[in-house]
Structure 1
Amino acid sequence: MDVCCDLEVDVNGEGVFMVNKELFCSYSGRFRKLFGKSGSTGKNLKVIFHDFPGGAETFELIARFCYNNGSIEISPTNLTALYSAASFMEMNKSVFESENLVKQIEKSLEEISYWTWSELLLALKKNQAFIVSVNSSVVLQKCLDTLVGRLILAAEASPCPSISSPESFGFRISCDSRSTESLKTSCFRVSWWFEDLSSLSQSVIEMALRSMISWKFDHGTISRFLFHYQKSKFVHAQSGEKSKIMGMVIDVLHSLDHWSIPYKSLLGILRVSINLNIHKSTRSKLEAMIGSRLDEATLDNLLIPSSAGVSCLYDVNLVLRCLKFFLSRGLSQVSNDRLMKLARLVDLYLAEIAPDPSLKASKFTALATALPDSSRESYDEMYHAMDMYLEVHTDLSEEETFQICSALNYEKLSPEACLHLTKNQKFPSRSAVQALLSHQGKLTGLEHASKYPSSCSSSPCYYPNYGTIGLKGESSDRNMLSAGEFDVMTDNEKLRTHLQGMQCRVTELEKVCHKMQTQMAKMMKSKSTGNINARSLPKLCS
């Protein structure tokens, strides 16, 4: 029986179909709305679709359904496309329940638990283009939930390679308990699905990972997959694609437990992402993850070159931001061991970047003062870094120099460092005075220790690069005890002589201060009368 084709349908510009208007209206609520009320007749009827789900290929499936009395084979490969198109055509209100395409698809979904792993993957690959369609999201999510459910069952199953692989559910890999490779499959038992999932589109992968997270899937395994996915996709990806991939990887990683992510891998992601155009908020997420565990880094990890156009050798701002993230949760949440470990790392970093002639004093000071005083038992390493910085940056203002030196705790400098500072002409005189006062206190302590050896610990007192001072043997070893006391007294005589010289220097500095104050008063008076212009004066005596 011939059917009149009186309706022309243009589908997204991909193809034109001549169909029977009355037949399509009997199945499609959308067509009934278009022609039912108007009663349009004639041979010049035409419908143009610009956003038909799945394009001409999917419309052909809809046409087959209509011309086959409301029947069509529904499979994993066409289920999502059919559901999206049927929803678009409003094919859920047919007069006969058996001819309702939406209902038929929903019934097929009830059997999804019997699909094989390969069928699930095929369904996702064939229909992942419909992820932007709201109508298809239910089907896609159902497929993804089923796929994730299989992964969870596999992870919880027996450690036998076959049971932890998809073939344990009738998929693809058989178990050979006699295999000598059983010890080599531990990684495979975790990662057997990595390649399969990587073959899907980025949007579908992200949906799958979000589903895994909601199902409490192991976060460490998820992070391993993300690093695998990033490396495999970067091989042939262009710059723009790499930015999108990296953005997705970082966003998902940020939603995981940060402690489940290998820190070395996070640092690797950071270096790779430096030259990519990643959104600022996404980059901030990565820096937050790295910064929260900054004490795990090494000096090499922090020596990241500055981006193009920046004069500094290393990206100091990045390290400052990471330090801020480390301290953002409050010092009460950080153990003292972690804090001291990070302080040692920062001091090493300061010494490494100090010779950079382009490094601003404000950046150096910000790094030196970022951590609290309690994080350091000794300030010798910081003093060493400051010494190198002042050696290179000879054009600093007095105020900048004071700001740098203010980061030092002179009480936590070793006697050797104090002595070196008092002679160090690169440091301001005020710092020399403070070091001198601190050194006098240490000297008093040493004299007290030499006079009252019984109050000292039997363990030697060690100062870096200075030597060992104190009792080196048991109390029964009189000769060694006397030698120890003699060495201390000899050293004290040398220190006392040096102190006398320093006291003369302090006296001279006081005279200079008095002269400068007098000159300042005269200049301020001259300024008020308008005779001369005021000049910036050192703040030595302020």
Structure 2
Amino acid sequence: MKMACDLEVDVNGEETFFVDKEILSSFCGRLSELFSKPSVMETAKTLKVVLHELPGGAEAFELITRFCYGGGRVKLNPTNTCILHCAAHFMDMNKEGLIKETEKSLEGISYWMWTEVIHSLKQCQDFILIASSSGVLDKVLDSLVGRIATPVDASPTSSSPESSGFRFSFDTRSTFSGKIGHYRTWWFEDLTSLSLQMVEKVVELMIQRKFDHVSIGRFLLYYLKVSLANSTPEEKRKTTEAVVDLLYSLDRSSVPCKSLFGILRGSSSQNLSKLCRNRLESMIGMHIDQVTLDNLLVPAPTGTESLYDVNLVLRFLQFFLDNGGRKSVDRVKKVGSLTDLYLTEVAPDSGLKPLKFIALASILPDEARDCNDALYRAIDMYLEVHTRLSEEEKMKICCSINYEKLSSETCKHLAQNSKFPSRTAIQALVSQHSKLKNLLKDTNNLRLLGKGSDSDEQIILYAKKLDLSTENEKLRANLEGMQWKVMELEKVCRKMQVKMAKMAKAKLRSNRKSSRSLPKLCS
């Protein structure tokens, strides 16, 4: 057959090919449709076609021409199947042509090597839209994820997320630090060579196939570390947002809080979207009982007066409470202890406004603290630094204290503490008075049951520890009256004990007499 080079094809601006128009249009529907329309160019001796965004570019077009000139035959292998499949769809090479041949080749993808699957996936990411619409991307993804899921290829690592050694350093002047290698699974490194969009698709399929979320979380953290090492600020922002969104779709226990704090600290210079930052903070907040004080000491944003970002911690605590944190007594008490440590740390900050301190001190429910001594010490420190507070502001701060949960030593300290409003000393003594009344009531109930006098001694010792200041004479009289009643009860108790002892001795003598007469009765 006589062939003529009557068609000039510019492929993606990369390279120009001179081919036979009739031969190519007989296989390529795209060209056939183009030449079926009247055009001024047909009057020219040589036609010119410019192809934009042909998948695979010049390399793929050369293979297409070989297929067309070869009468519908071309050598297919794992390295060119995906390219030709997408290029054939682009050129509208019907199902009986090159598309059919590439689909046959894809049927043997289970026999491809791992490196060939990775290579094919990289090809697809360069023309992801047509790879998705043609179906080839799904087949390659399915093969890749299936191989990762194969038991013989599974990572031997079985460490819990809490023991993760991830340490983050997102500063542009440094790279990740920490013993991350031990937690890296065999497929981590190969997948870091994929684009962000392709990684998202791989992870989404893993989640759909119910992969272990801990392994997925570790991979995403590793991918983030590698990707941020050499990227522009905009690329860093996009990668961080994408990784956070994927982490958010995992089980909440899959990612250690320490790693999430690493992302948070590293992203401080990035302009993350509000949604992304909200998700990151909520993931941390839901497990804030797992973090340490050092994690919470995040510097305040530039331009603010305070040293630490108290607003951030308040959001953490709110996320914790809103997501069932208060349902577990042990968890909420852990958070209570952590919050008291944080309050003590930020209290000396002269730039910390009273409203912020009040919000922090009162955000947790009462059951978060068995004892309010630590909270009192934090408030004491705050009042010592913030000397210009009004009496009203001081009272608002002190409203967060449950005086009934203060120890007697702390009540004594409070009553002598000039930094606190005088009314707080009265409140403390009233609460202690209530405690004594309850203890006395319990003691009376015990006496009715014939119990000992240990509780009486506890009440007397407890009352002696209280500060009975002159401004609380009424309370002083009440407490002294209670002490007198306790002493009277003790006298009654001792008399009862003496009587009971005499009765016991009498009973013992009676038993002895009975035992001596037994031999006479038996003789």
TM-score by length of 1: 0.75
2:121 is matched with 124
Root-mean-square deviation over aligned CA pairs: 3.3
| 1:381 shift after superposition | 1.0
2:221 aligned to 210, 218, 227, which one? 227
| 1:226 shift after superposition | 1.6
- Rounded Cα–Cα distance in structure 1 between residues aligned with 2:461 and 2:16: 105
User: Does structure 2 conserve the Cα–Cα contact (< 8 Å) formed by 1:447 and 1:492?
Assistant: no
Q: Secondary structure at the match of 1:18?
A: strand
| 1:148 shift after superposition | 0.8
- Rounded Cα–Cα distance in structure 1 between residues aligned with 2:296 and 2:344: 13
Q: Secondary structure at the match of 2:150?
A: helix
- Rounded Cα–Cα distance in structure 2 between residues aligned with 1:199 and 1:51: 23
- Rounded Cα–Cα distance in structure 2 between residues aligned with 1:198 and 1:455: 76
1:430 aligned to 404, 420, 423, which one? 423
Correspondence 1:3 to 2:3: yes
List per-residue Cα deviations over 1:501-527 (Å, max 9, x = no partner).
334999xxxxxxxxxxxxxxxxxxxxx
User: Does structure 2 conserve the Cα–Cα contact (< 8 Å) formed by 1:78 and 1:126?
Assistant: no
Correspondence 1:368 to 2:370: no
Correspondence 1:293 to 2:267: no
Q: Secondary structure at the match of 1:258?
A: coil
Q: Secondary structure at the match of 2:50?
A: strand
Correspondence 1:305 to 2:267: no
Residue 87 and residue 501 in structure 1: after superposition, are their counterparts in 2 closer, same or farther (change >3 A)? Answer: same
1:58 is matched with 60
Which amino acid in the other structure matches residue 141 of structure 1?
D
1:533 is matched with none
User: Does structure 1 conserve the Cα–Cα contact (< 8 Å) formed by 2:408 and 2:466?
Assistant: no
| 1:56 shift after superposition | 2.8
2:163 is matched with none
1:105 is matched with 102
Residue 315 and residue 455 in structure 1: after superposition, are their counterparts in 2 closer, same or farther (change >3 A)? Answer: farther
2:272 aligned to 256, 269, 278, which one? 278
Residue 65 and residue 12 in structure 1: after superposition, are their counterparts in 2 closer, same or farther (change >3 A)? Answer: same
- Of the structure 1 ranges 407-416 and 150-159, higher mean CA displacement relative to structure 2 is found in 150-159
List per-residue Cα deviations over 1:94-119 (Å, max 9, x = no partner).
xxx3xx11111111111111112122
Q: Secondary structure at the match of 1:133?
A: helix
Residue 222 and residue 491 in structure 1: after superposition, are their counterparts in 2 closer, same or farther (change >3 A)? Answer: closer
List per-residue Cα deviations over 1:402-439 (Å, max 9, x = no partner).
32222111121122222222232222233233223113
- Of the structure 1 ranges 342-351 and 74-83, higher mean CA displacement relative to structure 2 is found in 74-83
Q: Secondary structure at the match of 1:191?
A: coil
Correspondence 1:209 to 2:206: no
2:82 is matched with 80
Residue 308 and residue 74 in structure 1: after superposition, are their counterparts in 2 closer, same or farther (change >3 A)? Answer: farther
- Rounded Cα–Cα distance in structure 1 between residues aligned with 2:464 and 2:155: 76
| 1:366 shift after superposition | 1.3
- Rounded Cα–Cα distance in structure 1 between residues aligned with 2:188 and 2:465: 70
List per-residue Cα deviations over 1:279-321 (Å, max 9, x = no partner).
2211221211111111111111111112323322111111111
List per-residue Cα deviations over 1:250-306 (Å, max 9, x = no partner).
121111111122333233333222333322211221211111111111111111112
User: Does structure 2 conserve the Cα–Cα contact (< 8 Å) formed by 1:131 and 1:137?
Assistant: no
User: Does structure 2 conserve the Cα–Cα contact (< 8 Å) formed by 1:379 and 1:412?
Assistant: yes
User: Does structure 2 conserve the Cα–Cα contact (< 8 Å) formed by 1:77 and 1:127?
Assistant: no
1:501 aligned to 471, 494, 507, which one? 471
Correspondence 1:393 to 2:386: yes
User: Does structure 1 conserve the Cα–Cα contact (< 8 Å) formed by 2:372 and 2:405?
Assistant: yes
| 1:355 shift after superposition | 0.7
1:352 is matched with 345
Kindly report which structure 2 residues correspond to 1:114-513, keeping only aligned pairs within 5 A, or say none. Answer: 114-133=111-130, 138-154=135-151, 191-330=185-324, 334-444=327-437, 471=454, 485=457, 489=460, 492=463, 495=466, 498-503=468-473
- Rounded Cα–Cα distance in structure 2 between residues aligned with 1:114 and 1:452: 82
Residue 454 and residue 230 in structure 1: after superposition, are their counterparts in 2 closer, same or farther (change >3 A)? Answer: farther
List per-residue Cα deviations over 1:143-201 (Å, max 9, x = no partner).
111111111113587979xxxxxxxxxxxxxxxxxxxxxxxxx968x811111222222
- Rounded Cα–Cα distance in structure 2 between residues aligned with 1:121 and 1:267: 32
- Rounded Cα–Cα distance in structure 1 between residues aligned with 2:209 and 2:464: 73
| 1:74 shift after superposition | 2.0
Q: Secondary structure at the match of 1:390?
A: helix
User: Does structure 2 conserve the Cα–Cα contact (< 8 Å) formed by 1:379 and 1:413?
Assistant: yes
List per-residue Cα deviations over 1:47-77 (Å, max 9, x = no partner).
2233333333322222222222222222222
1:70 is matched with 72
User: Does structure 1 conserve the Cα–Cα contact (< 8 Å) formed by 2:148 and 2:154?
Assistant: no
- Rounded Cα–Cα distance in structure 1 between residues aligned with 2:153 and 2:9: 52
- Rounded Cα–Cα distance in structure 2 between residues aligned with 1:202 and 1:455: 76
Gaps of 5+ in 2: 158-180, 477-523
1:36 is matched with 36
TM-score by length of 2: 0.77
User: Does structure 2 conserve the Cα–Cα contact (< 8 Å) formed by 1:419 and 1:439?
Assistant: no
- Rounded Cα–Cα distance in structure 2 between residues aligned with 1:197 and 1:125: 10
Gaps of 5+ in 1: 161-185, 460-469, 472-480, 507-542
| 1:215 shift after superposition | 0.8
Correspondence 1:21 to 2:21: yes
Which amino acid in the other structure matches residue 282 of structure 2?
A
| 1:90 shift after superposition | 0.9
| 1:331 shift after superposition | 5.6
- Rounded Cα–Cα distance in structure 2 between residues aligned with 1:455 and 1:384: 40
User: Does structure 2 conserve the Cα–Cα contact (< 8 Å) formed by 1:415 and 1:442?
Assistant: no
| 1:339 shift after superposition | 0.8
- Work out which of the two has the higher radius of gyration on C-alpha atoms and give 1 or 2: 2
User: Does structure 1 conserve the Cα–Cα contact (< 8 Å) formed by 2:7 and 2:46?
Assistant: yes
List per-residue Cα deviations over 1:374-403 (Å, max 9, x = no partner).
222111111111111111122334443332
| 1:490 shift after superposition | 7.0
Residue 158 and residue 415 in structure 1: after superposition, are their counterparts in 2 closer, same or farther (change >3 A)? Answer: closer
Q: Secondary structure at the match of 1:77?
A: coil
